[in-house]
Amino acid sequence: MVIVKPQRIPSSQAHVAAPSSGAGWAAVLLAATLWGTTGIVFHALGHSGGANAASIGFARLALSVPFLLAMARARTGVWLAALTLRGLATLSALGLAMAAYQLTYVLALERVGVAIAVLISICGAPIFVALISVACLGERLRARTMVALATAIAGTVLMVGLPSAVGGHGHRFQIGIALAVACALCQALYVLAAQASSKVCGPMHAGGIAFGIGALALLPIAWSEGLHVSPSPGNWAMLLYVAAVPTAIAQTLFLVGLQGTGAVGGAIASLLEPLVATLLAVVLLHERMHWTGAIGAALLLSGIGILQWSPGKRGASARMADDLGRPGHQHGAGSLRSSGHGVVQQPPPTSTEIGTM
């Protein structure tokens, strides 16, 4: 049970020290790399384990909670963090954004197919983060940030590939497009809530509490569709891997890393996930990467590199100010994606029905 107290938590107990810009980028990029491994696992669970999207999404969040809280206990000595009502609301937004992202991604996938759902949801998230940061949070985006954003998104589009045919423009298709846009917005809200959660508690406590809330939100849907996972040791090992590594550990890295990259930088860096998923599909599933995909991968990496590059000898605070347009201001980040982000190169529906963030 979460303890709610009216007083404010001391800063030393609320969050860990913000990492340097370089350490923040390393943490976010590592998190995106771990997210990229979920596509292969979901592919295996869907084909050999008989698991549906609702089962995987619920089990992933629910099983990650004990891992996150155990990590928090080992680091801080307590299982749960004391929260103000405002802090609980922030973590609730974090967990509900994750649950909503996974749900809207599945629904969009069923209506518009893999390519369109992935392109809109993954590429739209950093755009929404940038727009909300400017319109609602008063941040100013420098030209370098906008160039990096455009380059990374163009690379992702080339790497994922545009759909060769669209399955109709009827009412169902239009609803699917709207759901994919909603999915991108949910990912953006997740990133922004993650950034805000650094002022609430540490990243592991934030992830454990938020994901518990997200799992409860998904439980009625998963229950109505049936919780299907073949009870073999191999399938449970894969579920535990997804819960522990690309969920608990990766989300903790993402939350910590956001303090060094800022929301926009973190959203752009998370686009590394589809690149990792694509490379794993090429190596393990023997899929082919077209030459446009290779160009797209190069553009994506270039976009990430543009944000990290700084001419001359400039400090980390100056680089952050250049990226996010808030000189002298150190951005806090939440403990925990979005997002996951979505599984990209997964032709079978079962392997792409759940976002990884």
Strand, coil or helix: what is 326? coil
Tens digit of pLDDT per residue, the chain (357 long)?
445 444 444 433 445 566 777 888 999 999 999 988 887 787 777 666 556 667 777 888 999 999 999 999 999 999 988 899 999 999 999 999 998 988 888 788 778 876 777 778 888 889 999 999 888 877 778 888 889 999 999 988 888 776 655 555 678 888 888 998 999 999 999 999 999 998 999 999 999 999 999 999 999 888 887 766 666 788 788 889 999 999 999 999 999 999 888 888 888 888 888 888 888 878 887 777 788 888 988 998 898 888 776 555 444 444 444 444 444 444 433 333 333 443 333 344 433 344 446
Give yes or no for a contact between 152 and 268, defined as CB atoms under 8 angstroms apart: yes
Give residue 222's pLDDT: 82
At residue 103, the 3 state secondary structure works out as helix
Check if the beta carbon of residue 106 is closer than 8 Å to that of residue 181: no
Of 127, 122, 152, residue with least CA distance to 302: 152
Q: Of 164, 167, 55, which is closest to residue 102 (Cα–Cα)?
A: 55
Q: Give every CB contact of residue 105 below 8 A, 6+ residues apart in sequence.
A: 117, 121, 180, 183, 342, 353, 354, 355
Alpha carbon distances (Å) from 187 to 78, 125, 190, 338? 30, 6, 5, 6
Q: What 3-state DSSP class applies to 350?
A: helix
In angstroms, the CA 91 to CA 105 distance is 21
Q: Letter for the amino acid at 118?
A: V
- Are 29 and 266 within 8 A, CB to CB? no
Q: Indicate the pTM of the whole model.
A: 0.75
Type of residue numbered 122: I
pLDDT at 188: 93
Say what the pLDDT of residue 18 is: 67
Residues 354/57, Cβ–Cβ less than 8 Å: yes
Return the half-sphere exposure (C-beta side, CA atoms, 13 A cut-off) of residue 150.
Answer: 7
315: Cβ–Cβ under 8 A, 6 or more apart, which residues? none
